[in-house]
């Protein structure tokens, strides 16, 4: 999913008065969480510091389909929170938590955690001969 696709989806499913800047700020929150709590804690995680998104463009987001549903759910949750819609917020928060759990579980199944990756290297980094 790209940033543009996300913004269009959120505005279609959850009409709101918030600017693209607000939604980008919320997107940066969830994207940085994915990077710091999942990607950087596992083998092969990129070492670059997080650079916040500043514009809605065709940049591809970190979470792949079908786990990318965490993005619109997170933005929906933030919209309902800032609108003071407690019931809708609670529903969106529960759905977002479920999507986060699915993303985290998939990532943990498919990527070795850093500590485990180091334990599995029995050669101490030396090539096997």
Residue 120 resides in a domain:
no
Residue 55 resides in a domain:
yes
Residue 129 resides in a domain:
no
Structural domain including 102 reads 3-114
| Domain count across the chain | 1
* Per-residue confidence band for 128, with pLDDT thresholds at 50, 70 and 90: very low
Distance CA 129, CA 127 (A): 6
Residue 127 resides in a domain:
no
Q: What is the DSSP letter of 121?
A: -
Residue 67 resides in a domain:
yes
Q: Are 21 and 52 in contact (CB under 8 A)?
A: no
Burial of 6 (0-12, 13-18, 19+ CB in 10 A): buried
Q: Which residue is it, tokens 């990532």?
A: 107
- Residue-wise pLDDT for 52-100, tens only, equals 999 999 999 999 999 999 999 999 999 999 999 999 999 999 999 999 9
């Amino acid at each position: 999913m790209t940033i543009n696709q996300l913004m269009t989806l959120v505005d279609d499913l959850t009409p709101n008065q918030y600017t693209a800047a607000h939604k980008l700020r919320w997107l940066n929150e969830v994207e940085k969480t994915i990077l710091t709590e999942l990607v950087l804690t596992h083998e092969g995680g990129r070492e670059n510091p997080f650079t916040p998104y500043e514009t809605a463009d065709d940049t591809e987001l970190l979470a792949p389909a079908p786990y990318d549903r965490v993005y619109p759910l997170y933005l929906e949750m933030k919209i309902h929170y800032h609108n003071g819609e407690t019931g809708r917020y609670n529903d969106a928060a529960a759905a977002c938590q479920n999507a986060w759990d699915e993303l985290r579980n998939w990532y943990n199944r498919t990527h070795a955690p850093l500590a485990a990756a180091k334990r599995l290297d029995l050669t101490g980094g030396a090539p096997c001969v």
